[in-house]
Amino acid sequence: MKNLLTLLAFIGSLTAFGQRDTTKKFTVTEVMAEFPGGYNGLVEYLKKNVKYPEEQKKKKIEGRVVVKFMITKEGAIDSVSIMKSEPDIDAFKEEAIRVVKNMPKWTPGTQNGKIVRVYYTLPLGFRL
């Protein structure tokens, strides 16, 4: 299964909102939120936990889903949503949401020395 996925991770925006107000949600911070083990830890987590939907596997359907979620001040995952799915297949979207919701706590981001909530955008490629 590990070889079935092409995994990418990126921060999906260039603008921070409410930089002086730590109750706001950020898309970019001075110190970004980080998955345990950093980028490599995130890739390993995804390789081990993403399950290719059986029906799409049998039909040899590939796809890409872009998931947006928030990392809270406590490092928990919140507000998980699908930004884009190509093709628009529920099984890919459901699997992407499942794996993101089950992530371990992250190290939260900081802005002006204060812990803040940060949005993160994660594209997941389903490739055979």
> 103-118 pLDDT, tens per residue?
999 999 999 999 999 9
pLDDT band at 24 (very low <50, low <70, confident <90, very high): confident
Cβ-Cβ contacts under 8 Å for 92 (sequence gap 6 or more): 53, 56, 63, 65, 85, 124, 126
> 54-92 pLDDT, tens per residue?
999 999 999 999 999 999 999 999 999 999 999 999 999
Cβ-Cβ contacts under 8 Å for 42 (sequence gap 6 or more): 9, 35
DSSP code per residue over 37-80: THHHHHHHHHHHH----HHHHHTT--EEEEEEEEE-TTS-EEEE
Task: Write down all domains in the chain, each with its CATH number in brackets.
Answer: 2-126 (3.30.2420.10)
pLDDT band at 13 (very low <50, low <70, confident <90, very high): very low
